[in-house]
A and B are shown apart, each in its own frame.
Chain A
Amino acid sequence: MNKAKNKEALVTIPEAGLLALVASKLKDVVLFPEKLEKAKEYLDKAKVKTA
């Protein structure tokens, strides 16, 4: 009988590699979409004070 063995391998990733991995994962993801909408709403109600 073959008994499945779960082996977890821990690997060390250099900092630069980790950030590149995250950047790649988020490349097509919209970050802070709510913030963008709030900024648009804010600007729609904005008026520049003239001197």
Chain B
Amino acid sequence: MNNFQNVYNTQEYRLSNGTLRYYFISKGKKDIIKAVQYQYVRHFDGHPLFNLGFGDFNPTTGTVSDEEVSNNDDPYKVFHTVLNTVPRLFDAHGNVILMVQGSDSKPEFIHKCRTSCTRNCGEEICKSAHRRIGIYRRFVDKNFDLLCQNYIFKGGEDIENQNLIEPYEKGKEYNAVLVLKKSP
């Protein structure tokens, strides 16, 4: 996951609580400072579990938001830059689980989107939801065999108000992707 060449330079910061942060500048139509964060959530299934956070730094407010859609003409370079930081989590913390969820999968996102819907979604679905986790899923689906040489993937799906975590199957619409590094 760290073999991408066309990526932005990142700066790494390790906080005292084990959180890892990476900053880089997306240079598209404009310069946007991006933040990637791996934060410990809790132990799960016998491993420390870290959550991936990713968003834009707003210099006016001094905050980082994961709800921005920057359309900065460099989506692949940004995505690959984020992916390049994944192995560093395992290098830093060893036998952990990385969990990836999309910020547009939250009920709040769907509710907010409905209030200004321009895609004629109706009441049943929101076409703008789940796009972010979909980007990660498609990457895993496309590179599954190669990635499985070094990583174990699991997928989470909502079944009867429970999040069922199972071995990853290509093509399934998981709402979370969990990644572990295989032991050498």
Chain A residues within CB distance 8 Å of chain B: 15-16, 18-20, 22-23, 25-27, 29, 31-32, 35-36, 38-40, 42-43, 45-49, 51
Q: Are A31 and B44 in contact (CB under 8 A)?
A: no
Count B interface residues, CB 8 Å.
Answer: 38
Q: Are B66 and A32 in contact (CB under 8 A)?
A: yes
A32 to B156, CA, bound (A): 21
A41 to B19, CA, bound (A): 20
A48 to B45, CA, bound (A): 8
Q: Are B35 and A35 in contact (CB under 8 A)?
A: no
B154-184 contacts to A (CB < 8 Å): 156, 161-167, 176
The answer to the question of B144 belonging to the interface, with a C-beta cut-off of 8 Å to chain A, is: no
Please give, as numbers and ranges, the residues of chain B lying within 8 Å of A36 by CB-CB distance.
Answer: 39, 41, 51, 53
The answer to the question of B24 belonging to the interface, with a C-beta cut-off of 8 Å to chain A, is: yes
Q: Are A46 and B163 in contact (CB under 8 A)?
A: yes
Q: A39-B51, A39-B101 are in contact. Are A31 and B42 (CB under 8 A)?
A: no
One digit per residue, 1 when the CB lies within 8 angstroms of any chain A CB and 0 when it does not, for chain B 55-76 equals 1010000111010000000000
Please give, as numbers and ranges, the residues of chain A lying within 8 Å of B41 by CB-CB distance.
Answer: 36, 39-40, 43
Q: Are B164 and A47 in contact (CB under 8 A)?
A: yes
Other-chain contact of A23, B21, B25, B66 (Cβ < 8 Å): B21
Q: In the A-B complex, list the 4 residue pairs whose CB atoms are closest, starting with the nearest.
A: A32-B53, A49-B166, A46-B163, A39-B51
A23 to B21, CA, bound (A): 9
Q: Are A42 and B163 in contact (CB under 8 A)?
A: yes
